């Protein structure tokens, strides 16, 4: 999918999503013991309440109970710490089925035992503001094209400068090599000439002493 079409589609999806969430927030009121909770969490708790008859509740302290199945399996529920030994309450922030069985007998409001994240007030705070749809996709396409062309020109200039630097360095290195080579040749010539002079001097010395 071309970049322009992707941005346009994402923009429309985000605009529709925020509008739908704002509409749902206005419709959420809560009823009775479920007041203050978002609809999804209320539905989960109602589903757990239907399993009430499968468990037996026994008290340990004012805020601690243990829930047991008919087969003898047990879970400890602490309403003050909002914990259950199954760990689902701590992980999700929503009372697990064992906690629901205990809380149901107390007839408290469920919002006291859920994470503040699931309150209607928090839901409304998350959707402040709005996103406007893009009116002219052609204008967006031209802007993206200009940005891409600018980046390409910048990259090309960078490569040209680097190539120039490398070429200059090579030229300078070649010049140094030429100078060093010439010096070496001159040094070699001087050494050869010195040897010839020394050889000639030795020859004249020999003739002078033996003739």
If asked whether residues 56 and 147 sit together in one domain, one would say no
Instruction: Beginning with the edge strand found earlier in the chain, give each strand of the sheet holding 74-78 in spatial order.
Output: 55-59, 64-69, 74-78, 83-84
Same domain assignment for residues 18 and 64: yes
Residue 168 counted as domain residue: yes
Residue 7 Cα distances to 10, 40, 150, angstroms: 5, 31, 20
Cα 100 to Cα 96: distance, rounded to the nearest angstrom:
6
CB atoms within 10 A of CB 76: 14
Looking at the structure of the chain, the number of domains it has is 2
pTM of the model: 0.55
Domain of 142? 136-211
- Tell me the average pLDDT across 77-89: 95
Query: Per-residue pLDDT tens for 15-38?
Result: 888 878 777 777 776 676 788 888
Boundary of a domain, candidates 98, 125, 152: 125
- For the record, the structure tokens of 153 come out as 């020109």
Report residue 194: phi and psi, to 5°. -65, -40
Q: Are residues 47 and 67 in the same domain?
A: yes
CA end-to-end span of the chain, whole Å?
104
Mark whether 117 and 143 lie in a shared domain: no
* Residue 160 and residue 74 share a domain: no
Instruction: Give Rg (Cα) of the chain.
Output: 44
Q: What is the pLDDT of residues 97-140, one digit of tens each?
A: 999 999 998 888 999 999 999 988 887 777 767 777 777 777 76
120 plus 209 within the same structural domain: no
Residue 131 domain-assigned (yes or no): no
**Local structure of residue 64 (DSSP, 8 states):** E
- Asked if residue 208 and residue 187 are part of one domain, the reply reads yes
Q: Are 22 and 127 in contact (CB under 8 A)?
A: yes
Question: 193 lies in a domain?
Answer: yes
Q: What is the pLDDT of residues 129-187, one digit of tens each?
A: 777 777 777 776 676 666 666 665 555 566 556 555 555 555 555 554 554 455 555 54
CA distance 65 to 105: 12
| Among 125, 156, 184, residue at a domain's last position | 125
What distances in angstroms separate CA 72 from CA 55, 57, 69, 92, 161, one per listed residue? 10, 12, 5, 26, 79
Boundary-marking domain end, from 58, 90, 125: 125
């Amino acid at each position: 999918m071309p970049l322009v079409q992707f941005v346009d589609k994402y923009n429309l999806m985000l605009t529709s999503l925020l509008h739908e969430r704002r509409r749902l927030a206005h419709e959420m009121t809560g009823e009775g013991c479920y007041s203050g909770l978002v609809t999804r969490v209320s539905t989960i708790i109602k589903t757990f309440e239907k399993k009430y008859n499968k468990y037996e509740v026994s008290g340990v302290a004012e805020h601690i109970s243990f829930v047991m199945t008919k087969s003898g399996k047990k879970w400890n529920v602490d309403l003050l710490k909002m914990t259950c030994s199954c760990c689902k309450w701590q992980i999700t922030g929503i009372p697990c089925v064992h906690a629901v069985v205990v809380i149901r007998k107390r007839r408290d409001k469920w919002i006291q035992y859920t994470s503040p994240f699931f309150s209607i007030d928090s839901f409304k705070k998350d959707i402040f503001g709005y996103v406007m749809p893009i009116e002219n996709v052609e204008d967006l396409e031209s802007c993206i094209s200009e940005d891409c062309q600018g980046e390409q020109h910048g990259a090309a200039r960078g490569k040209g400068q680097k190539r120039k630097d490398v070429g200059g360095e090579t030229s300078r290195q070649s010049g140094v090599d030429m100078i060093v080579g010439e010096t070496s040749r001159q040094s070699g010539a001087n050494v050869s000439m010195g040897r010839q002079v020394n050889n000639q001097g030795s020859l004249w010395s020999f003739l002078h002493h033996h003739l």
